[in-house]
């Protein structure tokens, strides 16, 4: 099983912190966020991981290395010009060898059974599966409308036009995609992967939602970063549950 961590972002909402340290290296309870995510992937059987880099990328590469200390193989996809989620995943596509890949946002702190997610995706032969959450401010995050049999009908108002009963959700920044959805993504140009998902929905591809009710945090703002730090210190999410020790500092 292959995975990719999106780690190229500028972290503008966390400035001045991110002027000198990339967001994936910000510590949560003393351990860089990207290490939390690598250990989550490792615990659930993902050993081959691609990490895309742009803002302060060499710092991430120096901190994480080849992945050998985690028993993983890490490949880097360097972006001289930032490519967004769509362009970044497209550039990394040769590393996927035509197989489905799990994508994880580099600013997400989450406790989720990735093996169960992978099984859900595979058993339904989905083109893509997006991890979703119920949130009172789903529209503020970017409304995802889910219809029958977990099929996503619209994302931020784009998708199928037919009226249907849907449930409001927000995208949690974790997804599995079949590389065939990348065919229309322009290479070397900045874009959002959401555009590829909307196109898939409009072609009646099986783009599914997978509800997550466990711990989740996006550390994209100082307030949410502070809350995630508090949650980790309070034991709401524990590094020890990932069954591996973080590397020595």
pTM (two decimals):
0.91
Q: Average the pLDDT over each of 34-38, 150-154, 174-178, 237-241 and give the range with the smallest value.
A: 237-241
Domain map of the chain by residue range?
2-234
Tokens for 48, please give them. Answer: 């081959």
Question: 171: which residues sit within 8 A by CB, 6+ positions away?
Answer: 130, 131, 132, 141, 142, 144, 155, 194
Which pLDDT tens digit goes with each residue over 49-85? Answer: 999 999 999 999 999 999 999 999 999 999 999 999 9
Residue matched to tokens 């489905």:
100
CA nearest 9: which of 156, 144, 108, 129? 108
Top-level CATH class of 2-234?
alpha beta
Confidence of residue 247 (pLDDT cuts 50, 70, 90): very low
DSSP for 1-25, please give it. Answer: -EEEEE-----GGGTTHHHHS-GGG
Which pLDDT tens digit goes with each residue over 100-149? Answer: 999 999 999 999 999 999 999 999 999 999 999 998 777 778 899 999 99
106 sits in which H/E element: none
Confidence of residue 17 (pLDDT cuts 50, 70, 90): confident
Residue 190's Cβ-count burial label (10 Å; 0-12, 13-18, 19+) is middle
**Per-residue confidence (pLDDT) for residue 146, from 0 to 100:** 96
Average predicted confidence (pLDDT) for the chain: 92
């Amino acid at each position: 099983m292959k995975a990719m961590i999106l780690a190229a972002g500028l972290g503008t909402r966390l400035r001045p912190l991110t002027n000198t340290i990339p967001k994936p290296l910000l510590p949560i309870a003393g351990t860089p966020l990207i290490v939390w995510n690598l250990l989550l992937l490792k615990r659930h059987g993902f050993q081959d991981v691609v990490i895309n880099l742009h803002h302060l990328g060499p710092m991430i590469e120096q901190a994480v290395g080849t992945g050998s200390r985690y028993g993983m193989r890490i490949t880097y996809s360097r972006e001289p010009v930032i490519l967004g989620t769509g362009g970044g995943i497209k550039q990394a596509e040769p590393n996927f060898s035509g197989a489905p890949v799990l994508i994880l946002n580099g600013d997400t702190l989450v406790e989720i059974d990735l093996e169960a997610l992978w099984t859900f995706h595979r058993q339904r032969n989905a083109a893509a599966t997006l991890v979703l959450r119920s949130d009172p401010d789903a529209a503020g995050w970017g409304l995802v409308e889910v219809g029958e049999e977990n099929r996503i009908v619209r994302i931020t108002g784009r998708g199928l036009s037919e009226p249907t009963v849907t449930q409001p959700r927000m995208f949690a920044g974790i997804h599995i995609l079949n590389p065939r959805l990348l065919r229309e993504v322009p290479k070397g140009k900045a874009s959002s992967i959401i555009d590829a998902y909307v196109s898939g929905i409009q072609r009646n591809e099986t783009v599914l939602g997978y509800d997550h009710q466990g711990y989740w945090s996006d550390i994209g703002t100082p307030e949410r970063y502070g809350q995630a730090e508090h949650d980790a210190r309070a034991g709401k999410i524990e590094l020890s549950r990932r069954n591996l020790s973080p590397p020595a500092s």
